[in-house]
Structures are given as C-alpha cells and as structure tokens.
Amino acid sequence: MATRVVMPQVGITTTEGLIGEWYKQEGEYVKKGEPLFSIETDKVTTDVEATADGIVRKIIVPAGKMAPVTSTVAIIGDPDEDIGPFLGAAEITTITAVGNGEEIKHEKHEEQKWLNQKGKRIKISPLARKIAAAHGISDAELQSIKGSGPDKSIIKRDIEAYLGQRACQGAPADQKVIPPGEVGTTFISKETVPEEQRKIVPLSNMRRIIAQRMLQSHREIPPFYLKMEVEAARLNLWRQELNERLSKKGTDVKITLTDFLVKASSLALRDYPELNVSYSNEGIIYHQDINVGIATAIEAGLVVPVIKNADGKSLYQIAKERVALIRKARQGELSLAEISGGTFTISNLGMYEVEEFIAIINPPEAAILAVGRLRDKLYLAGGTVQVSQCFTMGLTVDHRAVDGATAARFLQLIKERLEDPYGLLL
C-alpha cells in the first residue's frame, strides 16, 4: 500500500523545512527506519527516516527546495501500484517580503497546468494565475517567466518578481534590478552605495526563518519589560568552590552562571506556573513540564537547545547536559527532540561584555530572560566605599498571557534564589 512521506514538524513554531539531500532516488528500495532524506529548518539539520518498506515511487520535493511541514514530499509504494490519488494535490511554499522581514504563505495546487489561447500548456498555480490576470500579464509574458515551483511551475513569487522587473524597465540606469526568482528583490541606487562597496549575501534558510519568526513575535506579541539587578558576590564565590570540588573529582564539566540561571528560573516557574504558558485564541495553555531553552549562537545563526524538566535536575546535571547540547548545536548534530518543547528561554550575552539588553520572546513561549555580564559595583557601607559584584536580568513578557505584578514577583523570586544560592540545592 502506498505511503505518503511528509515533512516532519520540528517544534510547534516551525512552518517549513529545506530538503538537503535524498539518500534514495526514485525506483530504489527503502526499508522502514532507514534514513531517507535530510532536512534543514531554523532549528536543526537532521535525517528523516522512512516510515514504511517499499519503492520510492515519486520524489515530489527535490533536494534544495522548501516544503511546508506535514506536506507530502515523496511517495513510497509497491512497484506497480497506482499512486495517482496521492499526487492530486501538492503544497509548495512561497515567500513574500513584509516590511523588513518575511511572511510564509502556502499555495495549494490541485492542478498546475493551464492552457493558453493557442493550446500551449503553461504550468502555473491558481494564485499566480489570478495575480497575473489582475495585472494584465499576457500569455506571451507568462511563457517568458521562469517558474521556481514544482516541475518549474510559475508561482506567486515568480509573478511578483516579474512585476517588479517590468515596473523598472524604464527606471534610470543607476538602479540595479535583481532578476526574478531571487528571494528579496530589491532596488539599490549606485549613487548611494557604489558597486565596489556593495555585497549581497543570499539569505540562508535558517536566517530567513529566524527573520520571519522574530517579525512574527514583534508584530503579534504585546510585550512588557522588567529589569532587576542581582548581587552576585556570594553566587560567584560558591560557583568557584563547586568547580574546585568538581575538578578534584576529575570531571571537566564546569558550572557556569547560565546553569544557575536555568536552575533558579525552573524553580521559579514551578512556583509561578502562570509564566510557564503559551497564549492561544482558545485560551492560555499551561505546560505541565518545565523545559528551559538556552539561546545559543552558531555560525549559521541561532538555535535554542532545551533542557527538559530542568526543575528536577541538579546543578551538575544541568551543566553536563548544557555542555553536551551546545557542543551538538555547534557541530550541527542536535536531534529534533533536543530543540523541541521549550516553555521558557534564557539568553545570556554576558560573555560578550554586554551589560544589559532586551530580548525578543521566542514564540509560542510567554517570556524570555536576558542576562548581562558580571561586573564590579561600588556601594556605600558604614560610611566607606565597598566593591561587590552584580549583573542585570531583563524579563520580556507576553502581556496577553501574563500580568505585570505576576511577572515582577516571578523575576524577584529568581533574584532571591540567585542571591542565596544554597537554596538551589533544596
């Protein structure tokens, strides 16, 4: 029996994935559980296994192309089986520029063939055809447009790129038009930016989706911001003592400020479950597990590996897991499970000498904690100037789901637990 191979869902916010490589070609046999193709998303690069035994009858989305999650990318079946019913509808993804970011839209194609007045077939999606008709694009013009959809069919972005090019055919010679088919068509004045000083680097899949998701967060979530300063002298001293003990035991794992933050935040989320939520149109979703993500910079962009059930783990367990996750992140080896299911995120830029900053919420979570560098602080005590250590925490909260007073008490509890770190062992 024929089986659909679909683009997997990598976390509840991922909308699409890039097919990196097909390990089996059409006509080849594949066994259930055998790696079939690789995918890239904004979160991870990983292999996808076949879900059934059989012949790869049809590869619908070739390597190097995008596909929405849950859409069919291939068909596995018996050699002589009729797979026509499985090919009746295909989903492809188009990209439309929105402000400074991008918006993902889906076009569903029951049939991508259209005949012109002379009976010659033109492969074009219904949505693209509608836009072309609205702008008076002739059949002859359609035949000159190079499609970027499945089987080189013309889709929405091809029509929009053509319209942009056509509008600028009479533009001054000092403007450069990027040809149709390139993502993010722009017009750049040579008078403003000389040719030899200009470089355009195409967006990677990860960078494009990060941009789209951050725009979504900025556009849809009404945030509010809280800031508190943490006295860290006792915390830093205790961290040094713990690492000395770990070193004597022969372990190379070192506990960092991030580990204390994960532990303190997870315990605070247990006491204030109102922060361990997601907003939806149906209501506030309360998450049973407390899964803390750690924003991690990698060469291609940003990923957020997740420490699951962090409130039930010791500082050493958190540190050991953090080291393993960040190593995998930087080597591109994170699994789907290791970047899914986060309910709260921590972003620590202290190692870059950043004193304080405001972080953007990672949807669908309701809050994110931004942490600055550990620094010396002067204060008066008994008429003399003393020196202590401190750092600043900034909390960004989704006001649709959480009220200000609740978020303030939550942040205050994190501060108290960090300033009295022995309590993190209880």
Which candidate, 314, 317, 261, 334, places its Cα nearest to that of 292? 261
Q: Rounded to an integer, what distance in angstroms lies between the CA atom of residue 42 and that of residue 13?
A: 10
Q: Rounded to an integer, what distance in angstroms lies between the CA atom of residue 87 and that of residue 241?
A: 63
Amino acid, single-letter form, for residue 41: T
Neighbouring-strand partners of residue 355: none
Alpha carbon distances (Å) from 85 to 57, 81, 88: 13, 11, 6
Which candidate, 405, 407, 388, places its Cα nearest to that of 397? 407
Q: Which of 135, 218, 287, 399 is catalytic?
A: 399
Angle at 367 between CA 364 and CA 372, to 5 degrees: 130
Alpha carbon distances (Å) from 256 to 192, 237, 318, 355: 47, 12, 10, 17
Residue 168 has φ and ψ, to the nearest 5°, of: -105, 10
| Residue 155 structure tokens | 């889709």
Alpha carbon distances (Å) from 255 to 81, 241, 411: 58, 10, 22
| Residue 247 structure tokens | 């070193």
Alpha carbon distances (Å) from 285 to 14, 145, 218, 279, 360: 18, 46, 20, 6, 20
| Residue 73 structure tokens | 């990318």
Q: DSSP for 147-165? A: P-SGGG-B-HHHHHHHHHH
Cis peptide before 364 (omega within 30 of 0): yes
- Give Rg (Cα) of the chain: 26
Q: Rounded to an integer, what distance in angstroms lies between the CA atom of residue 288 and that of residue 340?
A: 15
Amino acid, single-letter form, for residue 253: V
Alpha carbon distances (Å) from 377 to 174, 369, 388, 411: 54, 22, 5, 21
DSSP E strands in 244-343: the ranges are 277-280, 283-286, 292-294, 296-298, 301-303, 306-307
Three-class secondary structure of residue 140 per DSSP: helix
Q: For this structure, is 287 an active site residue?
A: no
Residues known to be catalytic: 399
